[in-house]
Structure 1
Amino acid sequence: MAAKGNVPAAPGSVIVPYGHVVGNEKWRGSELARRLQGKTKLIFEDGLGLVDFHLSNRICVLYISEADLVAGDEFKRRLVRFRNASSLGGIVIVEKTPLSEQYFSAVQKLVVLQLGMVLLPVANQEEASQLITQIVREQSKDHTSNPFIRKQCSQLVEASMFRTVQQIPGVGKTKALLLLQQFGSIHQICNASVKELEPVVGQTVAQQIHTFFGS
């Protein structure tokens, strides 16, 4: 069953053979598609809606290019529509370049903090193809083990969360680690009061965190 253009396909409606990637038809002929075809088995399909690539029946990629970031807020609306309409595991790959770097922190806050999705920055489509291929290969090592796939996604989420918490003003690697150890998730950090944060990071940084999430 094909998805409409403004919604993602439902879980299970796109069947992805193990070791394959199902790409949105709009990517045919692109540099990313050409590089993927040299590393994995890429097939194209119409009707993937908001999704750019399906890496498995339940894991997909939404790709945000440098041009998307510079053009305005349409990519944000797309991500929100995806999150509201789908229970698929969404991985957002975003081109972080000298031109688009100024927009990255806002994207990071939206994707990881507000939408709870995995965010992976890349320099270009070549690096994106390597990243997608790596994820597909990891999944294919044991395609009968759903827990393995969940573990792979969990590791990506944890790494993404750790990088994102470090972007909060006043929080570096050490404080990010302490915060995640104490609260367990960004959602819990977001909802923590200044008084709850103070024993972990001190009064000044606690206030900065509270202000950051309240903005």
Structure 2
Amino acid sequence: MERAAPGGIGPVHVPFGHIVANEKWRGSELAQGMQGKIKLVFEDDLTPVDFYLSSRSCILFVTEAELVAGNSYRKRLVRVRNSSNLQGIVIVEKTQMSEQYFSAMQKFTVLDLGMVLLPVASQMEASCLIIQLVQEQVKEPSSNPFLRNKRAQISEPSLLRTVQQISGVGKVKAPLLLQKFPSIQQLSNASVRDLEPVVGQAAAQQIHTFFTQPR
């Protein structure tokens, strides 16, 4: 197997239908949730990446403890975001303990870095989500679910989950917004007047505030 370059930002060969996992996850609840449903290959020296879905797309998993501890996770995100070799998606463990820190991470990840952010309640839920992402790639192997040259545009299921996390949106209004504004970039640039016909005045103001308030 082709190994990652020192520091983890390098090519990794991922067999079709497999996931290459960082050795640190061996025996974890996250890895156990995927075993038997998809083939895992563990490798050393994958930092800052936690899981490779393909040779060019990867998962960065931020645990509850990391989110509560501070902003050290940001360095990992920035390294992948700045890599010309990788397209990353971020999964974060959003729990009752870490929820108060989620908003700041969401703004940093989605708005500042233009990366996909998907919250989960537990490692077991994260394992189900990762399997789903792999299955999406298998169904459409010719398409890249992490469009690097259009950073704000991502695969529809992932984009939908991201937009649902914006205050005032939720599961009902998110699909309506994406019909009108098919990327995070377009949505963030929309004025209250642009948003009102889609979601109403109150939600339009909340969305506009989310994207324009100081971070």
Q: Where on the TM-score scale, by shorter chain, does this alignment land: which range?
A: 0.7 to 0.9
**TM-score, normalisation: structure 2:** 0.78
Which residue is 2:159 aligned to? 158
In the aligned structure 1, how far is the partner of 2:196 from the partner of 2:123?
Answer: 42
Report deviation, 1:207: 4.8
**Deviations for 1:100-159, whole angstroms, at most 9, x for unmatched residues?**
1222222222222332222222222222222222332343356xx312x549x6123332
CA contact 2:89–2:116 (8 Å) conserved in 1: yes
Report deviation, 1:206: 4.8
CA change 1:189–1:98 in 2 (3 A) is same
In the aligned structure 2, how far is the partner of 1:96 from the partner of 1:189?
Answer: 24
CA contact 1:92–1:120 (8 Å) conserved in 2: yes
Which residue is 1:97 aligned to? 95
Match of 2:82, SS state, is: helix
CA contact 2:181–2:187 (8 Å) conserved in 1: yes
Gaps of 5+ in 2: 147-153
CA contact 2:163–2:174 (8 Å) conserved in 1: yes
**TM-score, normalisation: structure 1:** 0.78
Which residue is 2:42 aligned to? 44
Report deviation, 1:4: 3.0
CA contact 1:51–1:60 (8 Å) conserved in 2: yes
Match of 1:114 among 112, 116, 130: 112
Which residue is 2:53 aligned to? 55
CA contact 2:20–2:53 (8 Å) conserved in 1: yes
**Deviations for 1:165-200, whole angstroms, at most 9, x for unmatched residues?**
xx23x5455554444333332212322345544555
Amino acid across the alignment from 1:24: N
Which residue is 1:4 aligned to? 6
Aligned length: 204
Gaps of 5+ in 1: none
CA contact 2:66–2:73 (8 Å) conserved in 1: yes
Are 1:14 and 2:16 matched, yes or no?
A: no
CA contact 2:94–2:102 (8 Å) conserved in 1: yes
In the aligned structure 1, how far is the partner of 2:202 from the partner of 2:31?
Answer: 47
CA contact 2:118–2:158 (8 Å) conserved in 1: no
CA change 1:20–1:182 in 2 (3 A) is closer
CA change 1:40–1:202 in 2 (3 A) is closer
> Equivalent residues in 2 for 1:142-157 (5 A)?
145-147=141-143, 150=145, 154-157=155-158
In the aligned structure 1, how far is the partner of 2:76 from the partner of 2:4?
Answer: 18
In the aligned structure 2, how far is the partner of 1:158 from the partner of 1:31?
Answer: 26
Which residue is 1:83 aligned to? 81
**Deviations for 1:79-98, whole angstroms, at most 9, x for unmatched residues?**
12221224523221111211
